[in-house]
Structure 1
Amino acid sequence: PNWGWRYCLSKKLAKKTLLISELLETCNFSPIGRRAPLQGIEFITSKDFRDSESSKSAFIGIMEAINAKGVNMIGLYGKPGVGKTTLAKEVGKHALEQKLFDKVVIQEGKAEELFRSMQGVNKILVIFDDVWEEFEPETIGIPFGVAHEGCKILLTTRHQQVCTIMNCQKKIQPAILSKVEAWTSFKDNAGVDDGPSSLNGVAKEVARECKCLPLALVTVAKALKGESLDGWRAANQRLKDSRHLDNEEVFGNFVGWFLIGTL
């Protein structure tokens, strides 16, 4: 890089920044934009969601907890790829459709945005996705507990311990799919069937490598849809050869970009 040129550019930028600040102080500019509100749950549901025995059981458990008195923090935990985020979004969508809450939001913005979204709302469900460590709701703009008895939190995490330290009154772990459910999901997304063809035979082997994880099944199936038999065989061999896939914790993150990046 040309460090001299960068230095000159930084000096010019500093002068322009100062000039802009002075203009903002002396001039009365009308606002031309505003930060978008937190995204409502109705816009982000997953078309890949499908009923399974495990998802039905977890869904019922979460809805019972949401309706229970004295429960304001619910934890949904499990390995990556098991479908926690999708399930949480479906719960939010259902809760809104059933008018259990005035508002349902997924916390992705700044604390002040979340705080503003809660003003004047009696009952609200806030979904925190992929939580890794303890946090205090009040410190990020959520009047919680006694301060706002109509607020309930649903968090998703990979680790049960996070649910424990967050004092979740209800902890739910969705199970992986059964082998039958896994194959049904895979073949629907990959465009294969149960016929006795060579490609379908390889497809069944690939599906088994997805370890019955919903997200992995959908991701891999869509990545391979329309591929030739050689493409399927190559992907299957890469999955079998990869030592990363022996670790299911790593597998959920690894498999998507592994296939898409190597086919």
Structure 2
Amino acid sequence: MAEIAIAIAAKVVEYLVAPIGRPFGYLFNYRSNIDNLVHQVEKLGDARAGLQRSVDEAIRNGDEIKADVDKWLIGANGFMEEARKFLEDGKKANKSCFMGLCPNLKLQYKLSRATKKKAREVVEIQGARKFERLSYCAPLPGIGSATLRGYEALESRMSTLNQIMEALRDGDDNMIGVWGMGGVGKTTLVEQVAKHAKEQKLFDEVVMTSIFQNPNLRKIQGQLADMLGLKFEEESEWVRTARLNERIKKEKKILIILDDIWAQLDLEEVGIPFRDDHKGCKIVLTSRNKHVLSNEMGTQKDIPVLHLPAKEALVLFKKIVGDSNDKQDLQHIVINMAKECAGLPIALVTVAKALKNKSVSIWKDALQ
């Protein structure tokens, strides 16, 4: 009796369905294929939820989510919605034939075949959820200071900036020195170098840290690592050095700015590869002492940062003072006060901000 029923069913399938693939397998495995798809969609939902939690945590930590991670989440969400609708529509369609009492074999075949295909798609989506990293550190606001805003647009500073940018484009110069006395604006200048290098896409990464008179190796390594999205879990210095070195070498072209160097700094000890060790790594160093750069650090080109010319110093001073400069009895004092700052941008900015909107008597006292 069973053999007769199977023969009848086979004839019906043969009549209703084109003889492609494995019709009997799709028909007889209809329920198991449906159950498997439901199971796979549930697993995908769990994976998506777990990844979303990690993404949310990264966002709370201030990280930027990588594009491929966002793309996977969007794709997974879209597929799950599509799969649920597919399963619901199939369920309704199957019940429409005599309230489910008489199975539509042609419909079941098509649904089973489509269901198995969708299950394979779920497996492929799951397999694509292999990310080396979910996020990266957002660009830090440390590069690009507002302290001397307006100073970088002055003609003399634009000329110096262009010299540095030209040296960075030169394939032969891997280590460039920028020198000048304290307060002359070296830090602001190299911050502008970093900004222009990013905008012009000269490098894949641009990072910057300050060295100071008494260098703290761990702090220097930590600041560079933070800007590169590297998290140290080790305590030993040599391991941190090796990991930073390895991370920097992953960037084909990278600019590292080391600001305010007072004496020779061992770049290898920090973990910075340079010259033949990593020809794509360019380093800009700033110092008050040219000898430190050329003799102790071995820079290939040294660019001086000079005092502002008197005319530019007055322009910067007046720009910060603002409306105070319009007072007739203050104009002469403003000119003399700007001269007293000796063309040092930091002095000009500090004094101008302190005297802005102050009375004439305070201006006179300050000048004396």
Same fold (TM over 0.5): yes
**In structure 2, do the counterparts of structure 1 residues 175 and 182 end up closer, same or farther at CA, with 3 Å as the change threshold?**
same
Indicate if the aligned counterparts of 2:178 and 2:304 stay in contact, CA closer than 8 A.
yes
Which residue does the alignment assign to 1:197?
328
User: 2:203: which partner in 1?
Assistant: 101
Within 5 Å, which residues of 2 pair with 1:118-157?
Answer: 118=248, 120-157=250-287
- Residue among 121, 143, 147 paired with 1:44: 143
User: C-alpha displacement at 1:135, in angstroms?
Assistant: 1.1
Please give the secondary structure, in 1, of the residue aligned with 2:285. strand
Matched length: 207
- Cα separation, 1, equivalents of 2:251 and 2:365: 54
1:217 to 1:75, Cα distance in 2 relative to 1, 3 A: same
Q: Is the 8 A contact 2:325 2:334 kept in 1?
A: no
* Alignment-derived partner of residue 357 in structure 2: 226
Q: Kindly state the Cα deviation for residue 206 of structure 1 after the two structures are TM-superposed.
A: 0.9
- Please point out which of 145, 156, 161 is paired with 1:59: 161
**Given residue 328 of structure 2, which amino acid in structure 1 is its aligned partner?**
S
Higher relative contact order (CA 8 A, sep 6+): 1
Deviations along 1:115-153, one digit per CA (max 9) or x if unpaired, are 175252111111111100011211101122222111111
Q: Which residue of 2 aligns with 1:206?
A: 337
Structure 1 residues 121, 65: closer, same or farther in 2, change over 3 A? same
Q: Identity of paired residues, percent?
A: 41
In the TM superposition, what is the alpha-carbon distance from 1:177 to its structure 2 partner? 1.6
Q: Which shows bigger deviation, 147-156 or 193-202?
A: 193-202
- Kept in 2: contact 1:59–1:87 (CA 8 A): yes
SS at match of 2:160: helix
Separation (CA, whole Å) in 1 of partners of 2:266 and 2:256 = 14
Aligned residue identity for 2:221? A
Determine the C-alpha separation between the residues in 2 that align with 1:193 and 1:148: 53
Cα-Cα RMSD:
2.7
| Residue ranges of structure 2 left out of the alignment (5+ in a row) | 1-57, 64-135, 211-218, 226-243
Task: Check conservation: 1:192, 1:203, Cα contact below 8 A.
Answer: no
CA deviation after TM superposition for structure 1 residue 79, in Å: 1.0
- Say whether 1:111 aligns with 2:221: yes
Provide the rounded CA distance (Å) in 1 between the counterparts of 2:332 and 2:271. Answer: 53
Conserved 8 A contact 1:78-1:157 = yes
Whichever residue aligns with residue 111 of structure 1, its letter is Q
TM-score normalised to the size of structure 2?
A: 0.51
Cα gap change, 1:117/1:193 in structure 2, threshold over 3 Å: closer, same or farther?
Answer: farther
Tell me how far apart the structure 2 counterparts of residues 44 and 212 of structure 1 sit (CA, whole Å).
Answer: 24
Instruction: Give the SS at the match of 1:162.
Output: helix
Structure 1 residue aligned with 2:292: 162
Q: Tell me: CA distance 1:102–1:212, structure 2 relative to 1, closer, same or farther (3 Å).
A: same
Give the counterpart letter for 1:158 in structure 2. R
Q: C-alpha separation between the residues in 1 aligned to 2:268 and 2:170? A: 22
Q: Alpha-carbon deviation of 1:91?
A: 0.6
In structure 2, relative to structure 1, the CA distance for the partners of 1:167 and 1:105 (3 Å cut) is: same
Q: 1:78 to 1:214 in 2, by over 3 A?
A: same
Aligned residue type for 2:336? E
Q: Which SS does the other structure have where 1:199 is aligned? A: helix
Counterpart contact for 1:123–1:150, Cα < 8 Å: yes
1:40/1:105 contact within 8 Å kept: no
Residue 56 of structure 1: how far off its partner (Å): 1.8
Alignment-mate amino acid for residue 346 of structure 2:
L
